Amino acid sequence: MVIEARSSTADLDDARAKLVQSIVGLDDALLDEPGVVGDWSVRQALAHLLAWDAWGVAALVALERGQEFAQPDDDQMNLDWHARTRSLSGETLQRQLRTSRAEMVSLLAGMSDEERAQARYELGGHSMSPDKFIDGFIDHDTEHASEIRAWRKARGHA
């Protein structure tokens, strides 16, 4: 059972490492070019992921305390985080992406395998385990990393 817990934490780390790798070496001038993830630029996509990480860490803390935690207003959250990251360099964004993920992994590392597997969170009318909760973050990073890599390849920035 310990292997399973480490595996999902490792998957969480791996997904973030692949996301960060997708922007390594990208000129800062290209961070704001639209059309990478739909109409979004790389910066907007990364701000979006940082926003969800901040929400996820706060949600994990609240849910662990047995408190309710609401789903965010996606649009407002994205706007707020884009404003926060507007002037940051690619290197600073990479650092923030690593730090925010480390916070989440640290929270999960403090749980036993049984705690992580138990469907004990109520969120959006659904019961879920901490492991199920983090699956969404793994999928989210993987999705946007793939889109960024495809955009870089299409633009010759690979």
The confidence band for 16, taking pLDDT boundaries of 50, 70 and 90, is very high
Over residues 113-131, the mean pLDDT reads 90
pLDDT at 4: 47
Beta strands, E only, the chain = 121-123, 126-128
**Residues 91 and 78 sit within 8 Å (Cβ to Cβ):** no
pLDDT digits (tens, 9 = 90+) for 65-80: 999 888 899 999 999 9
pLDDT digits (tens, 9 = 90+) for 89-118: 999 999 999 999 999 999 999 999 899 999
Report how far residue 43's alpha carbon sits from residue 33's, in angstroms, rounded to the nearest whole number: 9
- pLDDT of 6 higher than 60: no
Could you give all domains of the chain from N- to C-terminal order, each with its CATH number? 2-153 (1.20.120.450)
The DSSP 8-state label assigned to residue 122 in this structure reads E
pLDDT at 7: 55
Indicate the SS3 state at residue 128: strand
Q: What is the pTM of this model?
A: 0.91
Report how far residue 2's alpha carbon sits from residue 124's, in angstroms, rounded to the nearest whole number: 29
Task: List the one residue out of 63, 57, 53 whose CA is nearest residue 93.
Answer: 53
Place of tokens 């305390």: 65
Report how far residue 129's alpha carbon sits from residue 136's, in angstroms, rounded to the nearest whole number: 12
pLDDT at 139: 95
The DSSP 8-state label assigned to residue 37 in this structure reads B
Indicate the SS3 state at residue 31: coil
